[in-house]
Structure 1
Amino acid sequence: MSATEIGGRCDERFTEVRDAFEAVVAGDAGGASAAVFLDGEPVVDLWGGYADQAQDRAWERDTLTNVWSISKTMTNLCAIILADQGELDLHAPVARYWPQFAAAGKDAVEVRHLLSHTAGLPGWDEPLKSPGDLYDWDRCTGPLAAQRPWWEPGSVSGYHALTQGYLVGEVVRRITGQSPGSFFAERVAGPLGADFHIGLPAADDDRVADVFNLEGLAVPPELQEMSDKVFGKPNVLADPSRTVSTRAWRAAEIPAGNGHGNARSVATVQSVIACGGEVGGVRLLSEKGVQAIFDQQIDGVDLLLRTPVKFGMGWALGYGGSPFTGARTCYWGGAGGHMVTADCDNRLVVAYMMSHMKFGGRFKTTGDERFGAIVKAAYHALNRG
């Protein structure tokens, strides 16, 4: 298929989503995939554009890409599953499962604080020296267990951009004996048939679209020290192509940032939430288990994102001023434009994954105009009936 063509299928009711996606791809330097699932079934499954910055490879049906913080929703889902099965108490101290975590006054920090970015551990006191440190599980988890929170846990959110995956992932590992990537593959992706990976096998390298950032990522001087501690040195988001395209990055388990998938696989997994815990005859959560996600933990201006956000258990919750405003709608995005929203009331999921990262002058994980056009078209089509 030529990169100028749009591949996939779209139900007649949702043709305006296809129109929106075609316009997005036509005006972009990279490629993308978009999916809309209703009642757990794909009504839109589209892809197009380029899988590399040089524009030599077309984005195909099974193309994958690094989806950055969309990975958090997959890791957090593992914790929600364990909670639903009675193996994890979201209101219990983290130290119940990870005794070393009680150090430096963290004995009262609860699992819910990890899931809502309120634990006060958004970065490492001693910044990571290279991206390679992210591949060392003990190097990332050990210092977090030992250090003191940067603020009173539970009082405010401060986006745990990379640390959330290690924190939640270590709790999952302590309970199950499995790494978060292995647990996800066995208990989520496998049963659902979802082509999403936290730790990508080398055999899949040829399917990966390279992410790239044409505009860089400017960090205000007053936030530079914190940025170093949160993202490490150097910041992998500033020039991702040098790191994210390597085998070492893809093979590692960085549960908050190196998940590989596409819109179809992301929408498949997130439909578990939108459809009350069951998709395609596979039940991963009870209705009560799904509802735990919507237990609001914090509402205010996030210290790092510098924007208002409501966090539940592992996802942000629907807010005014966007199409996803419902009381039972949750969402999150990945750096540069990836985005997914799950709407329980409409049993709807909209997902958009792409290769060309855009920041608009600041770090954010709430999508951009590309996803905005697609999700608005999806809701317009849904409401038009």
Structure 2
Amino acid sequence: MNNKRIVVIGGGAAGFFGAIRAAQVNKGAEVILLEKNRTVLNKVRISGGGRCNITHACFDDKKLAKFYPRGGSFLRPLFKVFNPQATIDWFQQLGVSLKVESDGRMFPTTDDSETIASCLENTAIKSGVQVRTSCGVESILPQKDHKLLLQLLDGSALLADSVLVTTGGNPSSRGYEWLAKLGLTIQEPVPSLFTFNTPEGQFKELSGISVPQAQVRIAGRKIKQDGALLITHWGFSGPAILKLSAWGARDLAESDYEFTALISWGAENTENSVREEFANQKKLHPKKVIQSNAMLGIPSRLWKKLCELSEIDEQLRWIDIANKQSNKLIENLINCPQKVQGKTTFKEEFVTCGGIDLSEVNPETMESKKIKGLFFAGEVLDIDAVTGGFNFQAAWTTGFVAGSNL
């Protein structure tokens, strides 16, 4: 008879994955999953607009690691143990088929996140995991015999042989205080994956317009990202902005989210290529009205607005454009300055940069180097990714490895 007791704290993706794996590896052990809320897997249910972007169809571990602004090099060897293909196979064996969308994101074929949540809940129950909701943990107290005593919020206590913490990211350092009390180093949490607010924005009336391939830079810093860009009624969103917010999370937090974003409305456009295009237009179509004939793949309403900002009126033709106007239009096309003042969380899915310092975690087992029997998985670690299913993949990978070693 196995009298071992394993406790998992946190009923999210990493918690369920770790608990299931631990129960499968430790036959006969008591595996208990504690969740402080009344419901479990809440983020799984709301992610991807209720469809659950479960992973990404990137099967090269080296490339995959590059989607993580923090934690990529830590995860890379772990992907050899459990990667997106392993995720696909794991769910497939339980009757959940996944599909790949054109951008590489993967969803259940049902397009319903409940498919994933139900699969995890049912598999946990079948594996013998005890799921206890409305059961928060106040503190962890290491014992002399290497067991861990959990003090629960209701005043009771639970003794465990090993503990897996999967409490997710937290926007405030207060959310990590109970772990810091154990002597663990916490990297200060700051938001990642957010959109840019431009209260004095010049493009608000163009809300809903997108360009397929823009480049966005932060003035005075070496941060830039390419991708689709969406104009919103509050500012800017889309993959280019979200990737930039992830890679620049700490820098942008330090600036209190007040900075200048420089937008190139076509990532491939350079000053020389645009000048050449303008010269061709002037030569081949001198009598064309500039505002009425959008170029460079720019949507017509956006082109018109960029012309207005460059002091090009509705009737001006290419033959009559002055050098000053031409230069200004080029600048607005490839280096359009936008004053950002604040951010907005991307949908309901907050992601934080920060958490348990990775240097204090054994990269082969996910066990704390400081406290024997204490493991970590998921966003409680200082690991985060851009959008596209990568944050969930980190949860499956770290949860699986931790669960295998509990």
TM-score (norm 2): 0.20
Larger strand share, 1 or 2: 2
TM-score (norm 1): 0.21
Structure number, greater radius of gyration: 2
